[in-house]
Amino acid sequence: MERLRVADLSKTFGAARVLRGVHLAIAPGELHGLVGQNGCGKSTLVKILTGVYTPDSGGSVTVDGRALALPVRPLDARAAGLSVVHQNLGLVDDHTVWENVRLGRYQASRIGRRINRKEEKRQVAEALARLGLELDLDERVGELAAEDRAAVAIARVVQDHVPGGGLIIFDESTRALTKKGRARFFGLVQSVIDSGASVLLISHQLEEIVEVTDRVTVLRDGQVIEGGIATKDTDEAGLTRMMLGRHVVTHSRVDSHARDGVAARVRNLASRSVSEFDLDLKEGEIVGLTGLVGSGAVAVAETIGGARPGRGGVLTVGGTELILSKRRGSTEEFIRAGVAFVAERRLEQGLAAELSVTDNLTLPRVRSRGGRFRTGGGWQAQETAAMIGKLDIKPPDPHALVGTLSGGNQQKVLLGKWLVGQPSVLVLHEPTQAVDVGARHDIINAIREAAREGAGVIVSSVDAADLAVLCDRVLVFRNGQVAGELSGELTADDIIHATFEGPAVEKPGPQQRREELHHQELNRKGVTR
């Protein structure tokens, strides 16, 4: 009997189907990995399991053979031994270890409703002992090292488990840990598993998924692409490919539009995570920046776009020199110099959901194109109509509120907001994140057209398929430095390999790689059947 069985679970928000018929099965004592891109539905699944969201009717969640009532009631979930350790661990920093472990479980005395500290502490000591941990119960949690904090969070959920039962979901819980801390963390996880509990590990760190899990489930666009394949049959590159999906490669490369003129020059860019980065961007050239989380690719893009100050360096655009270490109240100077920055999180950084398409699209130019005392309506209507037509924004209503548009159309409005200003440098961060295939097609075409018209384009992305079809060259970052540069005929596989492999590792020859791919293809088919 499975510890957890999720069957045919779907979730719809308005018009968007976020989960479609998801199946998941976890055996007792298993360490199961769950991977997928941002927006693939991982967090929605977790929120259904913890009762935050109500799933669409038709699905079921079964723990140890008993079906849970849907929507999941938190107390039912706890009684069944189902618990989640979130990314931020859910700890209260000012409180002590024992208070944090017992949070929400205090047993008050019958009369007087007082908390029996002695009894509480005894139970905490017991829970810690089960994990083989020694911690000062009266230490404030804020003072602890990251891995001890994780231990406290684990102790909190483990105490509810009946011996030999329970399931812990770790939702990006390892993010704050160092390499050493991570080893200790997984030691703890192992002892939890040895006691008979199961673990569902959700992580963006494919490296650790491959290292520690028994089986993996891959989600893409709300669907299970691979349900519980044995981890030993796959690797990081294989998982990445499954996460991104082959179907996204709908574009073929086109010829480069790079010209001789210089669009931008970056010298000695430095930030917290990047040291000494130089770049000469030609007019019409599309340069990709990629790398693992924390590698520096994102920091470089955001610094060039003006979104955050660096520690040093100079960006020259047209005749303007911009000191990158200067703190600025806004990106005004960058915009005036001809730099446009298309941010990653469209609703937090890109667009105001409660305001209209026109208002959002024209915002960067409302001062320069409008008069001081009059915004003027003509140019706004013109710009908006031009972008709605060019990017095929739906519905084609300039007065629609941005919040009512679908994700793909919001992304188009965000792109249009900057394209219409005809920037000489266009910096994009994950321009096709969480958009559907059609929107992606329109967005890629629009980026190419900007390059054709002479803009220098910088694309920061972890989506190798995007980079492969768009870029003239791709800079691969590792530990704050450019570890490799790929150019010429790019393929997504080349980019993925360069991202995940150290420079010392020899690239497999094409023959060898084809065999490897073929092997994985067979594996996948075998498992899905």
Partner 1 sequence: MIAPAPASTPSAPAAAPAPRRKRPAALQHIGSRYSILVVWAALAAVYGVTNTSNFMSVASFRAIFNGQQPLVFMAAALMSTIIVGEFVDLSVPSVFGFAATLVPVLAVSHGWPVWAAIVAAVAAATAVGAIQGYLVVKVHVNTIVVTLGMGTLLTGVGIWMTNDNTISGLPTGLGKIANLDLGGLPVSFYYGVVLIAGFAYLMWFTPLGRHMRFVGASREVSRLSGVRVDRIRFGSFVVAGLLSGAGAVIAVSGFGGYNPTSSDTYLPQVFAVVFLGTAMIEPGRFNPIGTFIGIYFLETGIFGLQLLQLQNWVTNVFYGGVLVIAVTISTLLRRRSS
Binding footprint of partner 1 on the chain (CB under 8 A) = 306-307, 329-332, 334-336, 341, 343, 348-355, 359, 363-364, 366-367, 370-375, 377, 397, 399-401, 403-404, 417
CB atoms within 10 A of CB 523: 16
Is the Cβ of residue 345 or residue 519 nearer to partner 1 in the bound state?
345
Q: How far is the CB of 369 from partner 1 (least distance, A)?
A: 9
Question: Would you list the DSSP string of 385-414?
Answer: HHHHHHHT-SS--TTSBGGGS-HHHHHHHH
Is the Cβ of residue 108 or residue 352 nearer to partner 1 in the bound state?
352
Residue 434 CB burial class (10 angstroms; 0-12, 13-18, ≥19): middle
Q: How far is the CB of 238 from partner 1 (least distance, A)?
A: 36
Closest of 109, 9, 5, 4 to residue 59, by C-alpha: 9
Q: How far is the CB of 356 from partner 1 (least distance, A)?
A: 8
Total length of the chain:
529
Tell me, what amino acid is at 133?
L
The terminus-to-terminus CA distance of the chain in angstroms comes to 21
- β-pair type (198-202, 66-67): unpaired
Is the Cβ of residue 129 or residue 363 nearer to partner 1 in the bound state?
363
Give the whole-angstrom CA distance, residue 502 versus residue 321.
35
Is the Cβ of residue 196 or residue 421 nearer to partner 1 in the bound state?
421
Backbone angles phi, psi at 285, to 5 degrees: -90, 145
Is the Cβ of residue 121 or residue 429 nearer to partner 1 in the bound state?
429
Q: How far is the CB of 384 from partner 1 (least distance, A)?
A: 13
Q: How far is the CB of 15 from partner 1 (least distance, A)?
A: 15
Residue with tokens 């150290």: 502
Q: How far is the CB of 392 from partner 1 (least distance, A)?
A: 20
> Cα separations (Å) of 214 from 27, 172, 224, 517, 528?
10, 18, 17, 21, 17
Is the Cβ of residue 1 or residue 355 nearer to partner 1 in the bound state?
355
Give the whole-angstrom CA distance, residue 36 versus residue 434.
11
CB atoms within 10 A of CB 320: 15
Q: How far is the CB of 327 from partner 1 (least distance, A)?
A: 11
Is the Cβ of residue 380 or residue 432 nearer to partner 1 in the bound state?
380
Q: How far is the CB of 340 from partner 1 (least distance, A)?
A: 10
Name the token pair of 469: 């079809």
Q: How far is the CB of 502 from partner 1 (least distance, A)?
A: 35
CB 172 within 8 Å of CB 206: no
Is the Cβ of residue 366 or residue 522 nearer to partner 1 in the bound state?
366
Is the Cβ of residue 10 or residue 360 nearer to partner 1 in the bound state?
360
CB atoms within 10 A of CB 260: 7
Cβ neighbours of residue 253 closer than 8 Å, sequence gap 6 or more:
468, 469, 489, 490
Is the Cβ of residue 370 or residue 484 nearer to partner 1 in the bound state?
370
Is the Cβ of residue 230 or residue 381 nearer to partner 1 in the bound state?
381
Half-sphere exposure of 353 (CA within 13 A, CB side): 10
The 3-state secondary structure of 479-504, one letter per residue: CCEEEEEEECCCCHHHHHHHHHCCCC
Exposure b/e, 367-395, CB count within 10 A at least 16 = b: eeeeeeeeeeeeebeebbeebbebbbbee
Q: How far is the CB of 109 from partner 1 (least distance, A)?
A: 38
CB 326 within 8 Å of CB 309: yes
Q: How far is the CB of 293 from partner 1 (least distance, A)?
A: 21
Is the Cβ of residue 122 or residue 367 nearer to partner 1 in the bound state?
367
Residue with tokens 């018929």: 21
Q: How far is the CB of 330 from partner 1 (least distance, A)?
A: 5
Is the Cβ of residue 23 or residue 336 nearer to partner 1 in the bound state?
336
Three-state DSSP class for residue 147: helix
Is the Cβ of residue 113 or residue 374 nearer to partner 1 in the bound state?
374
Count each helix (H run) and each strand (E run) in the chain, helices first. Answer: 17, 20
Q: How far is the CB of 303 from partner 1 (least distance, A)?
A: 13
CB 92 within 8 Å of CB 103: yes
Q: How far is the CB of 220 from partner 1 (least distance, A)?
A: 28
